[in-house]
Amino acid sequence: MPGCSSAWATAFGRGRACWHDWPDPMHLELAREHRLRETDALRRRAVLRRRRFRRGVYLLPSMFTLANMFCGYACVVFAMQGKYETAAPFVAFAVMLDALDGRIARLTGTTSAFGLEFDSLADVISFGIAPAILTFAWGLAPLGRLGWAAGFIFVTAGAIRLARFNIQTSTDKRYFVGMPIPAAAGVPASTVFVFPTPLQDYQTALPALALVLIPAVLMVSTIRFRSFKTIDLQARRSYTILLVLALILVAIATHPRWTL
């Protein structure tokens, strides 16, 4: 029957057309592999970008620690040159940098064992050795061996204070056990900054021993000192506090020697 033959031919032709329209399985496999390769490449690039960013972030707090160490070294250099008024402020700069490196590491989530040890070594230089040499060159040199022995006691107490702080695990974060070494370093440094004229004889140099021996005893003591790390800066405060801070800034700007 001609009609039937024509119908079969039409159906067969449509079937062939549909068969040719189907995608080739090999092409599908190649396309799938290509997409997988592109996805893997994108993932690898993202991982590399994250690693580069993480290395940069880890470097940031270490740079502040390095600057802290440089301030301690500069203090020693100027103290050996007899420029005590120039040397003393470097201890204050080191205190500010020491406070910043820890906060930056915590805010960026980049705290590490290396950073802790590096910070401790920098603190020994900036807050232990530098203030001791500054005080000896300024006022303890007339005491001879007694003077440099007192300076060494200060350095030893500072190192013990840092070592004890590093191994403490369960303590009240609101308090420090023993005077923090930056605060101890500020005692002789601020005194030298206020009275930069060096001490020349034994009698006037003898009271200067208290500048290093008293902080040394406080550093290795078990006296608790208030920590300012737990103060909530985002909490609401009285307007009086803002006024007090403004007065302190004005005093520092107008009379920095006596204010500090």
Give the position of tokens 């040499």: 133
Listed in sequence order, the residues at least 6 apart from 51 whose beta carbon sits closer than 8 Å to its beta carbon are none
Give the position of tokens 């140099």: 205
- The residue extents of the domains of the chain are 24-231
Q: Where are the beta strands (DSSP E) in the chain?
A: 175-177, 224-226
Residues above pLDDT 70, as percent of the chain: 70
Residue 94: the pLDDT is: 95
Higher pLDDT, 110 or 49: 110
Listed in sequence order, the residues at least 6 apart from 260 whose beta carbon sits closer than 8 Å to its beta carbon are 92, 190, 193, 194, 252
- Is the domain defined by 24-231 classed in CATH 3.30.390.50? no
Neighbour-count burial for 176-213, b at 16+ CB within 10 Å, e otherwise = bbbbbbbebbbbbbbbbbeebeebeeeeebbebbebbe
pLDDT grade, residue 175 (50/70/90)? confident
Could you read off the pLDDT of 62-117 as tens digits, one per residue? Answer: 899 999 999 999 999 999 999 999 999 999 999 999 988 888 887 877 778 888 88
Task: Give yes or no for a contact between 171 and 177, defined as CB atoms under 8 angstroms apart.
Answer: yes
Residue 8: the pLDDT is: 45
